[in-house]
Amino acid sequence: MDGEHPEWLPVDWKVCVRVRVSGKKDKYYVNPSNDRKFNSKPEVLRYLQNAEKDLKLRKLNKVDTEKGVAERLPSGWIKETRITRKGGKTRRNLCYIDPVDGRHFSSLQEVKRYLETKNSGKAECNEDDSDHPSEELGDHCISPTAGAEGFKLIDEKVDETPSGNVKSGAAVENINPPETDASGQIRKEDDSKAEDQQQEKKRKKHSKWMNGLPRRSSKRLARVEADPPLEVKSCSRAAGARLSDKAGFDTKEAIEKSKLSGKTEVIITSENFDKQEKASTSSPLGDLSSAEDHECASADLKEDEKNDKNINSSLNNLFMDPCIEFAIKTLTGAIPLQDVNKILDGPVASPAQASTSSSVPPSSDIWADPCFEFAVKTLTSEIPMEDDGSHFQISFKQPLSSSGATGCNTTVK
């Protein structure tokens, strides 16, 4: 409350000076009409500037409240706009009032939540609404009090926004005179609406996602797919290998292993072979990978998994061809010629194999393959070699190990 009265300040206004503890002086201005204080001249001026236009409406009220129908909300809901002014600045806060219990909500989101909760609590939403998947799922049901029907925020927004008279009056910053207030309100509403819309949209989306079991299910499915695929793949591969390889399956595995593990391969492979013969159709790799493999019921699956883990895709592809597999295996010595002969003879002479391995397809297919037959014949008859086929091993092994097996060897070693 202090002396001089600036020219720019209305006569009835008061000028006060506040001295801070620090000694700093702050001059503030008091509006007698509402005892409102302004820390600076600009604030006062702004206020006055607005006040001139706005004064009529404001007059007594610090806070103006404009009530209207919340079109977006179920009928009965009240949309209240509270206009607060500080200094020259005007604030407009939207507020939604529940006609039933008079609860106030600062945003449509809150209202939505409230309605949703209320709705969910009271009664489950009729699935009738489900027709509109994209729409506000819970919203419809939500409005216990008023018709939830009209609760389409988006539509309303669209409608309302255009109606807004966005007059140029807004030029004065936030402070909007009465007229501008309207526009300002509209603006705010629009903004809030826009936000709400976005949020709602987001929510809707989320709700869709969330609500829609399908999404969850899809997620799950996706997960399921993702998880199982591994196993399935392995199994399927194994199956595929069986189907395609049949006779060559053993060789395939042995070969792969041999490539991978190098020296050890041979030993392993031999073991595998024995086992294979014993087990007839069981895969040798299973033994090799036995330590790792316990997942799949069948040894084949185990083998496949191992393959997946250890073998490069390229190698896999290469060995997919049973002919190549068999040939390589035979050449490398993974398969003793005796075994080869057995195998060769097997289909013809020993029906036991076929019988024992019900799951394993008939070896006839393999023999049907000219490649396979050619390879076998070539290896067995045309090329002179000793029973053990040591020559072959030596001659072919080196190149193989050097070239194709390098990566594997390194890994193994």
Tell me whether residue 82 or residue 342 sits nearer to DNA (CB atom): 82
**26 beta partners:** 18
d(CA 114, CA 109): 8
Looking at 32-40, 243-251, 351-359, 384-392, which segment touches DNA (CB under 7 A)?
Answer: 32-40
d(CA 258, CA 254): 6
Looking at 25-33, 49-57, 200-208, 393-401, which segment touches DNA (CB under 7 A)?
Answer: 25-33
106 binds DNA per the rule CB under 7 A: yes
82 binds DNA per the rule CB under 7 A: yes
Q: Which of 42, 133, 162, 229 binds DNA (CB under 7 A)?
A: 42
In whole angstroms, the minimum distance from the beta carbon of 116 to DNA comes to 21
Residues 150-179 that bind DNA (CB under 7 A): none
Contacts with 256 (C-beta within 8 Å, 6 or more apart), sequence order: 285, 307, 310, 311, 315, 319, 325
Looking at 82-90, 197-205, 296-304, 306-314, which segment touches DNA (CB under 7 A)?
Answer: 82-90
39 binds DNA per the rule CB under 7 A: yes
How far is residue 206 CA from its own chain's centroid? 13
Q: Which of 5, 14, 86, 113 binds DNA (CB under 7 A)?
A: 86
Looking at 41-49, 72-80, 199-207, 295-303, which segment touches DNA (CB under 7 A)?
Answer: 41-49
Amino acid residing at 137: L
Buried b (16+ CB within 10 A) or exposed e, 371-397: ebeebbeebeeeeeeeeebeebbebbb
Contacts with 66 (C-beta within 8 Å, 6 or more apart), sequence order: 80, 81, 83, 185
33 binds DNA per the rule CB under 7 A: no
d(CA 309, CA 301): 12
> If binding means CB under 7 A, how many residues of this protein chain bind DNA?
23
d(CA 111, CA 143): 10
Amino acid residing at 354: A
In whole angstroms, the minimum distance from the beta carbon of 38 to DNA comes to 8
Q: Which of 33, 40, 270, 290 binds DNA (CB under 7 A)?
A: 40
Residues 252-281 that bind DNA (CB under 7 A): none
Q: Which of 1, 3, 11, 20 binds DNA (CB under 7 A)?
A: 20
380 binds DNA per the rule CB under 7 A: no
Amino acid residing at 66: E
240 binds DNA per the rule CB under 7 A: no
d(CA 232, CA 248): 22
Tell me whether residue 47 or residue 319 sits nearer to DNA (CB atom): 47
Tell me whether residue 62 or residue 205 sits nearer to DNA (CB atom): 62
Buried b (16+ CB within 10 A) or exposed e, 332-356: bbbbbbebbebbbebbeeeeebbee
103 binds DNA per the rule CB under 7 A: no
The answer to whether the beta carbons of residues 230 and 307 sit under 8 Å apart is: no
Q: Which of 10, 33, 66, 91 binds DNA (CB under 7 A)?
A: 91
d(CA 305, CA 283): 12
Looking at 31-39, 128-136, 288-296, 324-332, which segment touches DNA (CB under 7 A)?
Answer: 31-39
In whole angstroms, the minimum distance from the beta carbon of 58 to DNA comes to 13
d(CA 17, CA 2): 6
43 binds DNA per the rule CB under 7 A: yes
Q: Which of 5, 10, 33, 37 binds DNA (CB under 7 A)?
A: 37
Residues contributing to the site for DNA (CB under 7 A) = 18, 20-22, 24-27, 36-37, 39-43, 62-63, 82, 84, 86, 91, 93, 106
